[in-house]
Amino acid sequence: MENINEIKISALKGDKLFNQNTPIIINLNSPEPESDEKKCNADLICVIDISGSMDGEKIELVRESLKILVEMMDKNDRLSLILFDNNASIYFPLNYMTEQNKKDLIIKIERIEARGGTNILSGLEKAVEIIKLEKENTNENRVSSILLLSDGCDNYSNDIQLSDSLKQLTKGLNLSFTLNTFGYGYDHDPKIMNKLANIRDGSFFLVEDYKKVAEYFVTVLGGCVSVISKKAELNVKLLNKNCKIIKIFGAENLYSYELKPEFFKTNLLQFICGKEYTFVLEIYVDEKNVKIGDELLDIYFTYEDINQNNKSMTKNYKYKYELTDVQIVKANEEYIRSQVYFVLDEALKLRKEYKNEEAKKLLLDIKDWLKNNYKGNNQCYLEDITKTINLFKDEYTFQSKGYSYVSSNIREKISKRAGTNMIYKNNIQANYSKKAQSYY
């Protein structure tokens, strides 16, 4: 049983590093698990792309990925496989991962071959049908997640059409599941994969090798079995009329949110034990009329505790406007990470529109700023900026391996360093990590 008092809310103020707005970093820390025992059992539905574009190394990596996932799951977890090309079919129905079922499933995984076109929506429709049916037939504390394994090169829909279709597919059903996407191959479409993950509070992962995929499955599976609540909400209200909220970084990586000058609200599909949720806001503060010690933010976090029959719990925290050096340093680090990857993503968008000079200027400006103003470890940022700048050497290589690789990494880092999808490690997940190490 979790104690709401163990949930910690904090807010840190940063410096005005890039403009006249003040960064405020809100951290929401869930309690660590009381033991290494799972809180919930996982239902994972793998939606697997077997289209012709997946042939060769991609489908081989998919097969090896699935074997790792099967071996990581225990007898109380359930797994289903859906295969799709032009159409989708249930290849392995949702079933418990007993030793015998694992053996049978490994044999079936070995037989998966690539063919046909790519219709991602058909696969997602089958997965949602399974989750809907299980919701109607069980009252157990089970947590569901869809895992889309694909290169994202859809023949039927673009990213906007796919995301709209998925929203319509789940509208009004009150289904609590996440969607995590796994991009295979240098030529995969990171835009589609990232957008789909964002719709259902999931993460986008670039799959390069077996070691990476094992780590990613640890994140997904460890998260599912550590869920405290399948319905949670964060509300942030400004208390001072001389201030207004300008921006929330990583907003595109939130399942849902509402942003107005006087408040910010977001919903979380799954609130996970031992996880830190970080939100980076820019707020205009009229410093002539705001004094040190004035109450600035009223932060409310509400969730339904699955261990207490979904009883509603609330935690409240009021943030006072402060100028603490230690807090500022920590806030600045989060703000800089968010700003750098925001700029890189903006540059890639401009690159796609062939506005090369505008994009280059953004990149060079942020690079110069980091070199001249940031005293911390900026090497990783400079490396990613350089990789992005290199994409502009030849304007005809937009769909090259370099673009897809850089774009995937940037989008992955945006989702992990801004918004809610922060990397986490709790006791339960640590146990999965030890088990996963035997697979690479």
Q: What is the pTM of this model?
A: 0.86
Domain ranges of the chain: 41-225, 328-417
As a whole number of angstroms, the distance between CA 414 and CA 348 comes to: 13
Strands 88-96 and 227-229: unpaired
Tokens for 289, please give them.
Answer: 């009329």
Mapping DSSP to helix (H, G, I), strand (E, B) and coil, where does residue 366 land?
A: helix
pLDDT means per 10 residues, the chain with 440 residues, are: 71 90 92 76 95 92 93 93 96 96 96 92 96 77 92 82 89 88 82 85 82 84 89 95 92 86 93 88 92 94 88 93 76 88 88 85 93 83 88 58 67 60 67 72
DSSP character string of 205-269:
EEE-SHHHHHHHHHHHHHHHTTEEES-EEEEEEE--TTEEEEEETTGGGSSEEEEETTEEEEEES
Query: For residue 399, what pLDDT is reported?
Result: 46
Query: For residue 50, what pLDDT is reported?
Result: 95
Helices (H) and strands (E) in the chain, counts: 11, 17
- Burial (0-12, 13-18, 19+ Cβ within 10 Å), 166: buried
Query: For residue 46, what pLDDT is reported?
Result: 97
DSSP character string of 156-186:
S--HHHHHHHHHHHHTTS---EEEEEEEEST
The CATH homologous superfamily to which domain 41-225 belongs is von Willebrand factor, type A domain (3.40.50.410)
Query: For residue 101, what pLDDT is reported?
Result: 97
Query: For residue 330, what pLDDT is reported?
Result: 82
As a whole number of angstroms, the distance between CA 309 and CA 296 comes to: 35
